[in-house]
Chain A
Amino acid sequence: MEAYARGDAAAFDMLYERWHDRLFGYLARVFDPATAEELFQTLWMRIHGARGGYDRARAVAPWLFAIAANLRREEWRRRSRRPEEPRPDAAPAGSTGSAEDSALAAERDRAVRSALAALPETQREVIELHRFEHLSFPEIAEALGEGVEAVKSRAFRGYKALRAMLTEMQP
């Protein structure tokens, strides 16, 4: 990251290779594919623009996800001012396998997405960073600019709520 901040293109390539899919997933999990693609481009431009201010004492993951989380919040705020039709059942990009497997996977994915979408954003973002991005609670707290205990408490409530919702959704 430091080499990239100094303008090293090879270092950028390594960083990009490692993180671009995860960051895209972080956006695509809550927005439709077109919005996710648009935000993905904006996100990397922001990361690129902010690299000069990267603090070498910080881990890369919380730094990247802090920028991504801010972008997501901004998009939510923008949407709350101009409500649009959400598309939570959009097909996941890049899925493979037989038609039956795909249909089953899509159905499961839809259920999880619906349950996640029903969570308050404050709980959802913590759970996503923890469960999908494998950030530790101290890293999540750093990314979101909050206390570790508060973040744990939100994850606790979120996981319990998810469990209840997914149980209800099961046929």
Chain B
Amino acid sequence: MSRRTSLLCLSGGIAAMILVAGLTLGWLLSAGTLSLEFASAGEPPLRIAVPGALVQAGLYCLPQVAVARAAQASGCQGDTDWRPLVGALCAALAECPAGEFVRVESADERVIVSKNRRHLLVRVESPEESLRLQIPLRSLRSFGRQLAAR
């Protein structure tokens, strides 16, 4: 193999790797990033950011038994089929105008559910702990679709 052919092969390989990496990155970022921040008094804050596409893939691979168990744990059990409802709620939340949907305030606690142009936001604040969950709307729509289909 001549030096020129080797160089061509090497360039082609690098270009293919860049293309694959770009496509993977594009797929990972296409559904936005789901992020969770949890802070507890006296402890370092915990921050988790997961690409929405990975969560979708995880949901897809989740066994049916685990979905049923989660439904039971959340109190959505019995004869009522909650999945279409969750699917419709996710789709409707993704489509509806942005705003603050729910705010519950007591003397020392606050829960806020709101939506901006790109995310559904859930904030829970108390003197000891705070939690902030940010779900990309594109992912929310797909989560709903996936749950409704299972």
A and B associate? no
Interface residues of B (CB under 8 A from A): none
